[in-house]
Amino acid sequence: MRASAALIFWLLLVPVAQAKTPLFEIEIRDHLFQPSELRIPAGTKVKLIVYNRDPTPEEFESYELNREKVILGGRKANIFIGPLEPGIYPFFGEFNPKTAQGRVIAE
Amino acid sequence: MLLDAVVLVLREVLEAAVLVSLLIALSLNLSLRLRWLAWALPIALLGTYLFASSLATITDALDGAGQEVVNASLQIGIYLLIVAIVCCVLLLQRSPSLTSLLYVAMTLAVSFAMIREGSEIWIYVTGFAAVTEYRTAIYAGSAIGAGIGLSVGVLLFAGLRAMPASRSYATCLAALGLIGAGMVMQATLLLTQVDWLPAGKPLWNSSALLSEQSIAGELLYAVFGYEATPSAIQVGLYLGCLALVAVLPFVLRGHDRGRDA
């Protein structure tokens, strides 16, 4: 009885916990991030979906966020970020580092 | 575009070139033949092609975690192969039959490293060389980047060969342990990125002291897996993986001595 109650508790809790992860989306167009500035809550894990609208591949990269992921042309990629201390975390497109620049602002 | 291509390809080539140089130097120190290298190249090429051409499917697999899981598996695989290589090398005098296992481990370790780095170069070069205006810059830049990366590997190799044999041997084993531990640490970052591992707070921030973007930072990244803001999980795993390789000489020698008695 107690085991099944625990199971129901977890079954209820797990989707809730996942649904609580805030979702943010950015696009890559013409080797630029849009928007190039992303404000996220500090101290919270967020899920970032990056859509690459260019025909060419791109690599989302950030030394400050410790993230790197190749996104093929016309595809999308999920990247989890945080929980972060308040601050500014730059990211860039490694395949077009001069233009594809952006930053995450945790506040 | 030319400079971007140089930097990108250099970064990728560097990591694999350091590992290949160490293993070639180690083989020569042990008077082994280099035929494992002849096996590694075709395996790496085939693996790179398969990985790069199915990246879209891989990325969407496992609820969007496929790319990270494959890369992390390759990195953890390299660490385990390095452990196997170090074990084989330490026991080689006593059990010459381990030579074939050593060849297999070296072949796979180098192949895995080349697949990881090669697939990114492949995607970059094929993706941008398809655009006519970029083509020349991409090809020229990639060739220059690869040339510099290989030169660093050759220099490292020359340095290792110039040392007295016993020191060169010890340096190779120590560097392999560091590279392996760095790989495991990088793998944890990838698994955190897809939420397979929990994210921890950084233990310290040494980016002001030594930026990961600097040349020294990149080199240290290639050899030691340098990370300016590591979490407790990463530091713990790094030290644990390094310690495991470091105790192997003592454990295996003790084992040998036990057998002598």
Residue A90, domain member (yes or no): yes
Residue A87, domain member (yes or no): yes
Number of domains comprising chain B: 1
pLDDT tens-digit map of B112-157: 999 999 999 999 999 999 999 999 999 999 999 999 999 999 999 9
Nearest to B55 among A64, A70, A94 (CB): A70
Residue A91, domain member (yes or no): yes
pLDDT tens-digit map of B69-100: 999 999 999 999 999 999 999 999 899 999 99
Which residues constitute the domain of residue B51? 2-260
3-state secondary structure of B19: helix
B contacts of A96 (beta carbons < 8 Å): 4
CA closest to A65 among chain B residues: B229
Number of domains comprising chain A: 1
Nearest to A83 among B55, B131, B199 (CB): B199
∠ CA A6-A12-A13, rounded to 5°? 85
Q: In this predicted structure, what is the pLDDT of residue B261? A: 40
Range B27-59 burial, b when 16+ CB lie within 10 A, else e = bbbbebeeebbebbeebbeebbeebbeebeebb
Rounded Cα gap, residues B72 and B184, in angstroms = 8
* Strands, sheet with A23-29, edge to edge from the N-terminal-most edge strand: A32-34, A23-29, A46-52, A76-81
Q: In this predicted structure, what is the pLDDT of residue B257? A: 55
Task: Indicate the pTM of the whole model.
Answer: 0.90
Q: Are B156 and B219 in contact (CB under 8 A)?
A: no
Q: Which CATH number do you get for residue A83? A: 2.60.40.420
In sequence order, what DSSP letters do the residues of B197-230 get, joined into one string? S----BS---TTTS-TTSHHHHHHHHHH---SS-
Residue A93, domain member (yes or no): yes
Crossing angle (nearest 10°) for helices B232-260 and B66-91: 30
ipTM above 0.95, yes or no: no
Whether the bond into B164 is cis, omega within 30 of 0: no
